[in-house]
Structure 1
Amino acid sequence: MIAGVAVVVPAHQEERLLGDCLAAVNRALDACPLPPHARHVVVVADACTDRTASIARSAGAHVVSTRHRNVGTARREGAKYALRLAHGLAGDALWLAATDADTLVPEHWIAGQLQLAREYDAMVGTIDVTDWSPRAPGSAQCFARVYQRGGGTGHPHVHGANLGVRASAYCAVGGFPPLPCSEDHALVTALEIGGYRVHRSRDLSVLTSAREDARARGGFGDYLTRIL
């Protein structure tokens, strides 16, 4: 049974969007059945020279400051800090959730993951876009055609902006690798190879940005540029 949860958010120069992201994360944590002392948010301020760290602290998050400029390393450092926060809690009782600083999670996001944790070791969800104005006209329709949401209960996607994993499973496969992109795919592949139960949820979808100045080269922003 899950007795603690930590949400890890990597952030590079995210003073404009981070506040809304953390407000949504805090709403999702408040709506979950765990007590306040068992809920944490860890923001990894990676190579930031703006107000990212101070905004995170104002929102009640723990802040880890790094200079790696590498999203895989940032997620890894955030998860390591989250594990320290949960010192004394068995790994199978701690849930690690991940999202991005330009992303808005729904209010049922944590509660839904904890429900899935009764049967699964990890969850990967889908994404949608909040605002298509940074992209060319017709981008929303193109994305809707190309982004396959799958049938039944599955889908083919993995997003660092929308995943969760039991801490014991995360540690057993070595955690997020220090990659500049696709660290989320590498983690989920390692979990599946290791025989852990991964649920591909269509019900836990998050909203993210369509900005063209992507923080992680090769990530979702570049994916949009390729398909649109």
Structure 2
Amino acid sequence: MRPRSLAVLVPAHNEEDLLPGALDAIRAAARHPALRRVRVLTVVAADDCSDGTVAAAAQAGADVVRVTCRNVGLARAAAADRALELLDGPEGVWLASTDADSTVPPHWLAFQHARAVEGWDAVVGTVSVAEWPQHVPGLAARHQSHYVASRPAHGPWHHPHVHGANLGVCADAYLAVGGFPALPVSEDHGLVAALGARGHRILRTADCPVTTSGRLAPRAHGGFGDHLAGLALEESPAS
């Protein structure tokens, strides 16, 4: 497909501090020269927010949908629903997903657009950590050892990871498998598994990583932040 529109989906729960940086990076990616004739829409799903998340999203020019589910799967799905409503349906639409504590590189949307043109139904990318907690020595090395364990010495790395912070999918394929499942965690894994089960073409690539937070107290329990917190506990000497 050649997408005529790109919709960026961002779930957020009380992210007034980090969301502006995430949206700044998305706006920069939307200005890529390869996307001059492509519409880019950003939808923030503000999930049970009690801080300035909604105001920060609106100030950045994002469309905002408010939900009170405290469920990242439902929040991402709500953002997708709003995007498809605003874009008059799925035809020619590519859905790109990231997180409120993450910053995409300037070529992120152009990269996903190019892969869609090549015929991929979904792009599953990797993440890197922006800043490691200084009070946990060795955490970065331990994470890196786990994260790249399957990477071959030569050739492309068809990595095993799935991150909602770096994910893209053709809207038609997304709807065909029922969208993001209503899960409080691993909704991204659920979507990718459903796409694979239906035979959709999935590109797993480390060529366009997204930078994400290294915080050890994540908003959604059971995800990447909890993975880092678990590694931090392993690093700590026994008392």
Q: Which residue of 1 aligns with 2:113?
A: 114
1:126 aligns with 2:126: yes
Cα RMSD, aligned residues only: 1.4
> Is 1:140 the equivalent of 2:140?
yes
Residue 35 of structure 1 deviates from its aligned partner by 4.4
| Deviation, structure 1 residue 224 | 1.0
Secondary structure of the corresponding residue to residue 46 of structure 2: strand
Instruction: Show structure 2 runs of 5+ residues with no match.
Output: 233-239
Confirm whether residue 102 of structure 1 aligns to residue 98 of structure 2.
no
Quote how far apart the aligned CAs of 1:143 are.
1.1
Structure 1 counterpart of 2:101, one-letter code: D
TM value normalised by structure 1: 0.95
Partner Cα separation in structure 1 for residue 216 and residue 140 of structure 2: 14
Larger radius of gyration: 2
Any conservation in 2 of the 1:96–1:166 contact (CA below 8 Å)?
Answer: yes
* Residues 57-84 of structure 1 deviation map (CA, whole Å, 9 limit, x = unaligned): 0100000011111100000000000100
Matched, 1:174 2:165: no
2:206 corresponding residue in structure 1:
202
Measured in 2, the distance between the counterparts of 1:55 and 1:37 equals 25
Look up the equivalent residue of 2:75 and give its one-letter code: A
Distance in 2 (CA, whole Å) between partners of 1:82 and 1:5 is 9
Partner Cα distance (1:60, 1:101) in 2: 15
Mapped partners of 1:179, 1:35: distance in 2:
36
Distance in 2 between the 1:102 and 1:134 partners?
18
Report if aligned partners of 1:124, 1:198 keep a CA contact under 8 Å in 2. Answer: yes
Structure 1 residue 227 displacement after superposition: 2.7
**Matched residues in 2 for 1:44 and 1:134: separation?**
31
- The separation in 1 between residues aligned to 2:231 and 2:37, in whole angstroms, is 42
The TM-score normalised by the length of structure 2 is 0.91
User: Helix, strand or coil for the counterpart of 1:6?
Assistant: strand
Q: Deviations over 1:87-133 (max 9, x none)?
A: 0x5x3510000000000100000000011002200001000100102
Give the length in aligned residue pairs. 226
Letter in 2 for 1:136: V
Displaced runs of 4 or more, over 6 A = none
User: Which of 186, 191, 197 is 1:193 aligned to?
Assistant: 197
Q: Deviations over 1:15-45 (max 9, x none)?
A: 0100000000110111153347721000011
CA contact (8 A) 1:134 1:212 kept: no
| Inter-partner Cα distance in structure 1 for 2:73 and 2:94 | 19
Tell me: CA distance 1:170–1:75, structure 2 relative to 1, closer, same or farther (3 Å). Answer: same
Please report how far the alpha carbon of residue 49 of structure 1 lies from its aligned counterpart in structure 2 after TM superposition: 0.7
